[in-house]
Amino acid sequence: MDIRTDGLKSFAPDEPIDTLVVAVFKGANGLELAGGPGEVLTSHQEIALWKLLTAVGAVGSKGEVTTVPGEVLAGAGAVNAESASDEAAPAGPAVERILAVGLGDIEEVTDETIREAAGVASRNVKRPQAQAEGANASADSAGTSADGAGADGASQDVDTNSASTNSANRGAHVVSTLGMFGTEAALVGHGLGAYSYFGQRAGTAAIDRITVLTHGSDGNASAPEDTVKRARIVVESVCFARDLVNAPANELYPESYAAIAAHQAEEFGIKAEILDEKQLEEQGFGGIIGVGKGSARAPRLLRLTYTPAETKDGAPFVALVGKGITFDTGGISLKPGANMWDMISDMGGSAAVIASIYAVARLGVPVKVTATVPMAENMPSDRATRPGDILRHYGGITTEVLNTDAEGRLVLADAIVRACEDKPDYLIETATLTGAQMVALGNRTPGVMGSIDFRDRVAMISQEVGENAWPMPLPAELDDALKSDVADLRNISTTRWGGMSVAGCYLSHFVPDDVEWVHIDIAGPAYNTSAPHGYTPKRGTGVPVRTIVETIERIGRG
């Protein structure tokens, strides 16, 4: 899919517009159209559109989507005709369909409002073939719905990275006015909302091209190239993470996963190293071996290293670690069968850090970054780790395993110690780690733990980019509950309380005191099992790629 920008005044489409996305507000006196006459629509067009939207009950509430046939503009002038007079402008390219997306109160619009509105719009776009029967529909075909209530200058290419998006049939050409209120937010929202994943089912993406209109410097210029480039890379990286999370475990297992990630890394100039099960055993990665030995699919440890082309003495160094359990049955502490299929997503943290280091390399951020990714399947068998077993981690700390379904922290412990051997300044680790995260914060809000100042900084960044992480404590009394009589630690507490923070406390034992670190628990946010919302699809979400990338960029800026 191609996303480009154009200036409001210079935009002159040379082909039909399948869908025109128009922003609307909830004003004090009812529905208000965004922009003034002559910016996107002529005064005749605005009046005709406003009347129809009002007639079908649109009020401009946040998340509201109203669909009307493009013929409402017929005879009222050309799209973007530079005329606000009472005379109809010359006829322009036909508009097949109009999506009016509500932004709510104009005083409360944020970048996230724009991202979500753009995502909602992209998700509601129909392929031209699907619109053909309604091309001559009357105003009676207009309809309004809340998000989720209905259907689920220079050109810069934004690829959603789903292999299924290629098609011989033409997708829709979409023109959006949301760039008037935030160019990068509109680009990212539209790109993420347009994502589609079909797996091995036949399907075709709805959108081929989106043109986001912007004010530019004088209304004639498209957005700066750097803005479009960054949006493109962020969208592609998030969608790559989504593709990995959505892949079935019979296709994405430790060996294949490591190979795929290493091959992709080479394209971006990132050094890749893979340790197989023999090397892991020889080097003492007891947590990874202990979790993975119950499966016929042997574990792996992937190491990715990005070194900027130009580095200065004292340049910051960030280590990333992500949990890569490609399928989690719970092991001997077997999970219930209901919804176990969702455990293909238990490698969501690894997908996020892999996608993030790719993004950082492509953006040329002046920060050294490594990604250390433990990959394993957690399966029951006669070779599997049993409750009561003691594992010796890389670096020498021992853990008494009380529950084999608390396996993520066991592989992360090895990976954290290995990552910190390189003396990073910062450690960002993320994992689908605990069901307790969802109990405490729901399925859209990650929990962030770690060094207090860095934790709060990452949480703030996450909220700014729309991933909405929330800072959580690491109470001393919960840490005390991890003491074992027969090992340095045990992998769970024997009480019911504070499970998310208990896991964070456990991981803290493997982080050196001189490293600023955060643990981001994405158990719920990494995988959306409910209806799509905003720019978030069902299944893999790509959280927290945008948080990680933005954090590293800011570290690079000092």
- The residues annotated with a catalytic role in the active site are 335, 409
DSSP states of 208-250 as a string? EEEEEEE-TTTSSS---HHHHHHHHHHHHHHHHHHHHHHS-TT
Is 368 annotated to bind ligand? no
Is 346 annotated to bind ligand? yes
Rounded distance between C-alpha atoms, residue 54 and residue 49, angstroms: 8
Cβ 58 vs Cβ 33: under 8 Å: no
Q: Which residues contact 347 (CB under 8 A, 6 or more apart)?
A: 244, 245, 252, 257, 322, 323, 324, 325, 326, 375, 432
According to DSSP, the residues that pair with 19 across neighbouring strands are 97, 174
Rounded distance between C-alpha atoms, residue 552 and residue 365, angstroms: 8
DSSP 35: S
Burial of 520 (0-12, 13-18, 19+ CB in 10 A): buried
3-class DSSP state of 19: strand
Is 323 annotated to bind ligand? yes
Q: Which residues contact 382 (CB under 8 A, 6 or more apart)?
A: none
3-class DSSP state of 366: coil
Cβ 189 vs Cβ 148: under 8 Å: no
Determine the distance from the C-alpha atom of residue 394 to the mean position of all C-alpha atoms in its chain, rounded to a whole number: 31
* H or E stretch covering 157: strand 155-157
Q: Which residues contact 43 (CB under 8 A, 6 or more apart)?
A: 37, 84, 85, 86
Beta strand 324-328 with 368-378 is parallel
Is 485 annotated to bind ligand? no
Cβ 392 vs Cβ 286: under 8 Å: yes
End-to-end C-alpha distance for the chain, whole angstroms: 34
DSSP 334: P
* H or E stretch covering 283: helix 277-283
Beta strand 2-7 with 143-146 is unpaired
- Cis check: omega of the bond before 544, within 30 degrees of 0: yes
Number of H helices, E strands in the chain: 15, 23
Is 407 annotated to bind ligand? yes
Cβ 63 vs Cβ 146: under 8 Å: yes
Six-digit token string for 191: 């790109």
* Annotated binding-site residue numbers: 323, 328, 346, 405, 407
* Annotated binding-site residue numbers for Mn(2+): 323, 328, 346, 405, 407
